[in-house]
Amino acid sequence: MLRLKTSLLWLLVLVTAHVTEGAGRPRQRLKLSEDEELVWGSRDHTTSLRSRKTSSPETAAGPEPGDAAAAFKVPTLDGEFSYQPGAVRGSLVIHAFTNKSGFLECLWSSEASLFSLVQDLPERTQVLFVSLDESAVSDALWMREQLQRAAMHRKEVLSRLHFSPVPVFALGNWIPRVLYYWGCMGINCGLTQAVFTSEGWNMPVIVKRLDARYDWLMGRWGQGSYQLIDAGDGCDPSPSVAGAVAWVSEGRCSFFVKVQSMAKSNASGVLVYALPGNPIQDMNCVGEECYSPLRIPAAMVHLEPSVTQALLSAQKINVSFQTTPSPNFFIGIDQQGVLSEMGWFLYPTFSFINWQAQWFNFYADLQMKLENPVKNVSVFDKVQMQGQKGAVATVDLPLGLLDFDTLELDASLSCPGRRDVSCAPWDHTVQLFVCCDQLSPYCNMELGRWITAFRRGIGRWLTDVSPLIPLLDSNKCTFTMKTVPWAMPWIVSLNLRFSVSNQTGDRLRPFRVMSLFSGGTFDKNYNKRYQPIKFPVPASTKKVELFAVITGHGSDENGCGEFCVTSHHFLINAVFNNTHTFDSAGTALGCAMQVTGGAVPNEHGTWLYGRGGWCDGLQVNPWRTDITKQLDMTGFESNTVIYFGLFDGQDPNPSQQPGYIIMSSFLVFYK
Ligand SMILES: *[C@@H]1O[C@H](CO)[C@@H](O)[C@H](O)[C@H]1NC(C)=O
Ligand SMILES: *[C@@H]1O[C@H](CO)[C@@H](O)[C@H](O)[C@H]1NC(C)=O
Ligand SMILES: *[C@@H]1O[C@H](CO)[C@@H](O)[C@H](O)[C@H]1NC(C)=O
Ligand SMILES: *[C@@H]1O[C@H](CO)[C@@H](O)[C@H](O)[C@H]1NC(C)=O
Ligand SMILES: *[C@@H]1O[C@H](CO)[C@@H](O)[C@H](O)[C@H]1NC(C)=O
Ligand SMILES: *[C@@H]1O[C@H](CO)[C@@H](O)[C@H](O)[C@H]1NC(C)=O
């Protein structure tokens, strides 16, 4: 069985090289998740899950995510920060700094990172900064100075940033307990280190390191020890590094050129050291460089005099790589005063604080919306969804269904345990099917679709599916919600919210739907499978709408359909070309931009990239277009509709592993 083990996390890296012609092409996209399915059934794995279970809430010694945050006070550089449940209007993020982490050093040194915090911290959010170390006073002063400098043009934000000079181990409240008890798992958490050994030394020299950007290099450090060989600035090939880790200085050429020339020299990895006085940086490729895949790992460290010394005197040095567990660096408290994990910070930028805070705002607004009076029908209340069957429930619907013109799905996906580590690791499609009458043509049509988050259990979404009310053609309906049978379990809740959008005026209500096309394999025959559909408009129809839920999946050589730009066309009466294009598929932050709309942030995988019509941890928004004016409404003449899907404006024509489109599409008739 394939087993990839690093000290603290299970990683699977699937490579989807995305190369298309033309300007503005998206760079290659890696798909990465903290994977458990790969090692499913292995003894180690069972043990590790079991040990996690024993530390779950029943026997737990501390607050868990989802518990209420108790009041606390912390001295700050300006006086005191006091948290009283209910008194804070927005959310609060607590960040514990330690300069023992290369990731945190970079987070706090990178101008782009600092700037993102002062520029984009959502308005209702405050941040409390503390230090884990004895140096808390100077750390607090330094952190404040870093942010004051970055906030030159947005001073307002500084009033929401609080810096404590008291180290975490002296806080005397519950914060240390949560930081220690939650601990740190996964990417950029814990203390990643390089360990140098040499025969002449009594002790290993252990330094912090920051690995190159998670989605740039395809190599990962092995468990063993590598020889360390000096390769100057690493800008030119150097045959002596073959099989060893190259020790190279920052500067003269880009990180890419260094790693590329060392890879050409058959090095096993690259350690770039910062020049004296410089901080550790986030090593990454830039622009065109990102199209050349490199297959060795690399990391950045500080210059270590004893290492330089030993190399100068031709002493042999070995290096190995480890992660020492640490307290957590982040705690969130949402608008309702509930403790929350902050998820993975994939690379060193404060944007991850902003994204989590945006989500707190989204969630607070959602709570408000859920207080609107509606006819609320519970379908699933924390039901496990797993396997072929999924989650199934038969429920009674309210009488007089046709009086309602609005139906929203209130769905949430949480995990078997209270921590994100108990959540399923992969992003899978979840579909909700409904059948109210076995004999009805509407039986088992799709009512809603979501994509699961990579290992985060906070998602909750409200999806307007009003046009599909006619699918509920009886007062007792069976709902089935499921994902792929091999996915680890999710805990689902689903409420149907029926309401009337408009108390006055002529309300148009959907009274009939007609199922159109579904998707399929996105290959050269994709469009050959579709035939025009003829339809008359039923009498007394006032409006006709096209309603489609379309998502692209899989990965051919162009990244289709997950990471390529596909367009979907519904041609009405051979003239009207109704087009839906997934413009943000493959973009670096396409899905990060959807956090304000409810996409789960900071997932344990590559959730940031734009996708073909979807995001991880989000509902799939139905696409709706009014086509009334494109139709012959007399009811005598037949209208036609034909669908086709294109990649880059052309029929798809992949040479390998074609992707696929999942689609349900309807015409909706209103009167
Ligand atoms: C963090 O550590 C690096 C070297 O390890 C040092 O150069 C830097 O000044 C330290 N920063 C702070 C704020 O202590
Ligand atoms: C260095 O690593 C090699 C394997 O790469 C190993 O054989 C050797 O014993 C190591 N030496 C030290 C001093 O750790
Ligand atoms: C790297 O390894 C390859 C394959 O073993 C070999 O052909 C090539 O000459 C090596 N390059 C260097 C610079 O050692
Ligand atoms: C809807 O009803 C279910 C059970 O009937 C309940 O658990 C849930 O809280 C209700 N939701 C709202 C927003 O009232
Ligand atoms: C709500 O009512 C107004 C007239 O009062 C009407 O113009 C509008 O179309 C209605 N909206 C819906 C969604 O029915
Ligand atoms: C519909 O529009 C797309 C691009 O917007 C175009 O590629 C396609 O040829 C058009 N089809 C027809 C039949 O007009």
What Cα–Cα distance (Å) separates residue 456 from each residue in 165, 187, 355, 415, 504? 32, 14, 14, 8, 42
503 lines ligand 5 (CB under 6 A): no
**Whole-angstrom distance, CA of residue 263 vs CA of residue 257:** 10
Element (H, E) at 542: none
532 lines ligand 6 (CB under 6 A): no
Identify which of 97, 105, 131, 280 to mutate to test ligand 1's pocket (most ligand atoms within 8 A of the CB).
105
Identify which of 201, 202, 227, 316 to mutate to test ligand 2's pocket (most ligand atoms within 8 A of the CB).
227
- Which strands sit side by side in the sheet containing 429-435, from one edge to the other? 391-396, 476-482, 429-435, 445-451, 618-619
Output the CA 318–ligand 2 centroid distance in Å: 6
Query: Nearest ligand, CA of residue 225?
Result: 2
Q: What is the mean pLDDT of residues 74-90?
A: 92
Output the CA 75–ligand 4 centroid distance in Å: 41
Convert 246-277 to b/e letters by CB count within 10 Å (16 or more is b).
Answer: bbbbbeeeebbebbbbbbebebbbbbbbbeee
3-state helix vs strand vs coil in the chain, percent to 5:
20, 35, 45
Identify which of 97, 99, 107 to mutate to test ligand 1's pocket (most ligand atoms within 8 A of the CB).
99
- Note whether 105 and 138 are within 8 A (CB): no
266 lines ligand 3 (CB under 6 A): yes
Give the tens place of pLDDT for each residue, 126-178. Answer: 999 999 999 999 999 999 999 999 999 889 999 999 999 999 999 999 999 99
Identify which of 378, 379, 395, 499 to mutate to test ligand 4's pocket (most ligand atoms within 8 A of the CB).
378
Give the tens place of pLDDT for each residue, 10-39. Answer: 333 333 333 333 334 455 566 666 543 332
Tell me the average pLDDT of the chain: 91
**Whole-angstrom distance, CA of residue 320 vs CA of residue 316:** 14
Strands (E), 489-539: 490-499, 510-521, 533-535
Element (H, E) at 112: helix 111-120
Q: What is the mean pLDDT of residues 567-579?
A: 98
Identify the three-state secondary structure at position 246.
Answer: strand
- Closest Cα to atom 7, ligand 3: which residue? 266
Residue 125 CB-half CA count within 13 A: 23
Give the tens place of pLDDT for each residue, 186-227. Answer: 888 999 999 999 998 999 999 999 999 999 999 999 999 999
Query: Nearest ligand, CA of residue 241?
Result: 3
- Note whether 448 and 379 are within 8 A (CB): no
Domains of the chain with CATH codes: 62-188+326-362 (3.40.30.10), 191-324 (3.50.30.30), 372-507 (2.60.120.230), 508-671 (2.60.120.230)
Output the CA 410–ligand 4 centroid distance in Å: 9
Neighbours of 334 (CB within 10 A): 21
Amino acid identity of residue 347, one-letter, is Y
Query: Nearest ligand, CA of residue 138?
Result: 1
pTM for the model stands at: 0.91
Structural tokens at position 87: 């008194």
Per-residue pLDDT, 40:
28
Residue count of the chain, please give it.
671
Most confident of 83-87, 185-189, 567-571: 567-571
Cis ω for the linkage preceding 561 (within 30 of 0): yes
Per-residue pLDDT, 37:
34
Q: Which atom of ligand 1 is nearest to the CA of 142?
A: 13
Query: Nearest ligand, CA of residue 467?
Result: 5
Nearest 10 degrees: CA dihedral of 261, 262, 265, 268?
-150
Output the CA 411–ligand 4 centroid distance in Å: 11
Q: Which atom of ligand 1 is nearest to the CA of 105?
A: 1
- Note whether 264 and 241 are within 8 A (CB): no
Contacts of 433 (CB under 8 A, 6+ apart): 444, 445, 446, 447, 479, 480, 481, 482
Output the CA 370–ligand 5 centroid distance in Å: 22
- Percent of residues, the chain, with pLDDT higher than 90: 86
**Whole-angstrom distance, CA of residue 357 vs CA of residue 353:** 6
